Amino acid sequence: MHTAILGLGSNINPNENINRALELLKRIADVKKISKIIITKPIGITDQPDFHNGAVLIDTMHEKDMLKLQLKTIEDQLGRDRSRPKFGPREIDLDIVVFDNVVVDEDYHQREFLQKVVDSIWL
């Protein structure tokens, strides 16, 4: 069994897409905790709606690479358009931030909002 903390965010129908993502996550993992959702300004491309961001603590039987593939599948199921620019609008964004108590996403060290939501369910 592995423990992971996932970052999730959306700025396209964020309430609906985050709730749908959580329901789909519950099909592939045991969801232990969900952080509060915080609203943040976009990074890079600023002419777009604010993002709703949070974190989810899960237990999973999957190794990190398989979990990452499953997260991409959930993003695809929710209509994520990968042709958009990297920092453009998103239906949903799911990233592994911590895996087995090790930070695996460098954004954690660079983005205060990510530290805030992750730490609220981790530390």
Question: Of these residues, 50, 65, 84, 95, which one is catalytic?
Answer: 95
Question: Of these residues, 20, 65, 76, 93, which one is catalytic?
Answer: 93
Q: What share of the chain is helix, strand, coil (3-state, %, to 5)?
A: 35, 30, 35
> Is 84 among the catalytic positions?
no
> Is 65 among the catalytic positions?
no
CA distance 19 to 89: 17
H helix runs in the chain, sequence order: 14-28, 64-77, 107-110, 112-122
> Is 95 among the catalytic positions?
yes
Residue 98, SS3? strand
Question: Of these residues, 27, 65, 90, 100, which one is catalytic?
Answer: 90
> Is 111 among the catalytic positions?
no
Question: Of these residues, 80, 81, 105, 111, which one is catalytic?
Answer: 80
Mind telling me the catalytic residues?
80, 90, 93, 95
